[in-house]
Amino acid sequence: MLNYILKRLFFSIFVLFGVATIVFFLVRMTGDPVAIMLSPDATQEQIDQLRASLGLDKPLIEQYLIYLGDLIRLDFGRSLRYADSAFTLIIERLPKTLMLAGTAMFISLCVAIPTGIIAALKKGSIFDQGIMALSMVGQSMPVFWIGILLILFFAVDLGWLPTGGYGTVKHLVMPAFALAFGLIPLVTRLLRSSLIEVLETDYIRTARAKGFMPRAVIFKHALKNSLLPVITVVGLQMGALLGGSVVTESVFAWPGVGQMLVQAITNRDFPLVQAIIIMLSAAFVFINLLVDIIYVFVDPRIQY
């Protein structure tokens, strides 16, 4: 088992290395990054100065090795706009993004697991069909539109919640729900189909034949196994949540990493963009590694 975990760990590091390499060459593929960073009317002197300060006058391979070395020491360079270490800037904002994504995940599981179970147990009923139709509609709504609809209703019409910003629990409610909205249909549908499949297996029939309470059969026998695919998807969807937070944070002016990424792109703050992309991918890779490890403990059938 340790072997398996080590293998996964090695793969995660490999993926991060790949991500870092792709980002490095993407930024350089555009030609001179300095020319993009500075305004078009910058003097040659300014260009040379910035280039030297960023180490861009060295040969490409040397730049690449220095870049990798810096990454290992968690040195992501300095933001051009904030004139501060990119790592510090991101670390300051990362908890806010994780709080948003975590709350969204919590909300979606709280909603999706009960609805998924009921839909599976009442397969074909009006409730089930309604849930399926609703989740189809929900999956088709872009997250920023859900955000705007929430603002229209709860902030503008009812005046219950602030339109955006950060501070109290009230500020968290709408962005978290907007972000959760995309995930709820997915988890509901998945749990429903996986539970339906499990309920048709022999061991459930045996449990029923033995005369166990229907509730015990569902919660003790069936649910355990049908939650397995849900764990995988939840892990994978953390990435989508981190990505979705980029849009959600912009809608609700939530001061997280996502909002900073959009601002950094608009400001052409390349070192910061580079750092955010690598750190968000690292967070995602780490979560997936965690899911893989949890999986080993939850599913004894897994091969390692």
Partner 1 sequence: MVKQFKKVMRSPISWIAFTLITVFVLCAVLSPILAPYDAGAQNLRERFVPPFWMEGGSLNHILGTDDLGRDILSRLIYGSRTSIAVGFLAACFSGGIGITLGLLSGYFSKLDGIIMRIADIQLAFPQILLSLSIVAIFGGGFTKLILVLGITGWVSYARVIRSEVLSIKTSDYILAAQTEGVGGARILLRHILPNIIARAVTISTFQMATAIITESSLSFLGLGIPPNVPTWGNMLQSGQLFVDSAWWLSFFPGLCIMLIVLSINLLGDVLRDSLAPKTS
Q: Of 49 and 163, which CB lies nearer to partner 1 in the complex structure?
A: 163
What's the min distance (Å) between Cβ of 180 and partner 1?
16
* Rounded CA separation 172/93 (Å): 15
What's the min distance (Å) between Cβ of 136 and partner 1?
6
* Rounded CA separation 196/117 (Å): 9
Among residues 111, 186, 242, 260, the one that binds partner 1 under rule CB under 8 A? 242
Q: Is 243 an interacting residue with respect to partner 1 (CB under 8 A)?
A: yes
* Rounded CA separation 274/243 (Å): 15
Cβ–Cβ < 8 Å for 78, 277: no
Cβ–Cβ < 8 Å for 192, 125: no
What's the min distance (Å) between Cβ of 87 and partner 1?
18
**N-terminal to C-terminal alpha carbon distance within the chain:** 6
Among residues 19, 173, 204, 231, the one that binds partner 1 under rule CB under 8 A? 19
Other Cβ atoms less than 10 A from the Cβ of 133: the count is 10
Q: Of 150 and 223, which CB lies nearer to partner 1 in the complex structure?
A: 150
Q: Is 151 an interacting residue with respect to partner 1 (CB under 8 A)?
A: yes
Among residues 13, 22, 52, 216, the one that binds partner 1 under rule CB under 8 A? 22
Q: Of 217 and 271, which CB lies nearer to partner 1 in the complex structure?
A: 271
Compute CA 80 distance to the chain's CA centroid, rounded to the nearest angstrom.
Answer: 26
What's the min distance (Å) between Cβ of 31 and partner 1?
10
How many residues belong to the site for partner 1 (CB under 8 A)?
48
Q: Is 74 an interacting residue with respect to partner 1 (CB under 8 A)?
A: no
Scanning 122-256, the segments in alpha helix (DSSP H) are 126-139, 143-150, 169-199, 202-209, 214-216, 223-252
Q: Is 183 an interacting residue with respect to partner 1 (CB under 8 A)?
A: no
Q: Is 251 an interacting residue with respect to partner 1 (CB under 8 A)?
A: yes
Residues 6+ positions from 3 with CB-CB distance below 8 Å:
304
Q: Of 174 and 207, which CB lies nearer to partner 1 in the complex structure?
A: 174
Take residue 273 and report the two structure tokens written for it: 């963009």
Site string for partner 1, 252-291 (x = CB under 8 A): ---------xx-xxx------x---x--xx--xx--x---
Q: Of 154 and 218, which CB lies nearer to partner 1 in the complex structure?
A: 154
The residue assigned the tokens 């409730």 is 127
What's the min distance (Å) between Cβ of 22 and partner 1?
8
* Rounded CA separation 132/44 (Å): 61
Q: Is 97 an interacting residue with respect to partner 1 (CB under 8 A)?
A: no
Interacting span for partner 1 (CB under 8 A) from 20-28, 59-67, 77-85, 99-107: 20-28
Other Cβ atoms less than 10 A from the Cβ of 81: the count is 14
For 161, which DSSP code? Answer: S
Other Cβ atoms less than 10 A from the Cβ of 267: the count is 15
Q: Is 140 an interacting residue with respect to partner 1 (CB under 8 A)?
A: yes
What are the two backbone dihedrals, phi and then psi, of residue 159, each rounded to the nearest 5 degrees?
Answer: 70, 20
Give contact residues for partner 1 (rule: CB under 8 A).
11, 15-16, 18-19, 22-23, 26-27, 29-30, 136-137, 139-145, 148-149, 151-152, 155-156, 163, 239-240, 242-244, 246-247, 250-251, 261-262, 264-266, 273, 277, 280-281, 284-285, 288
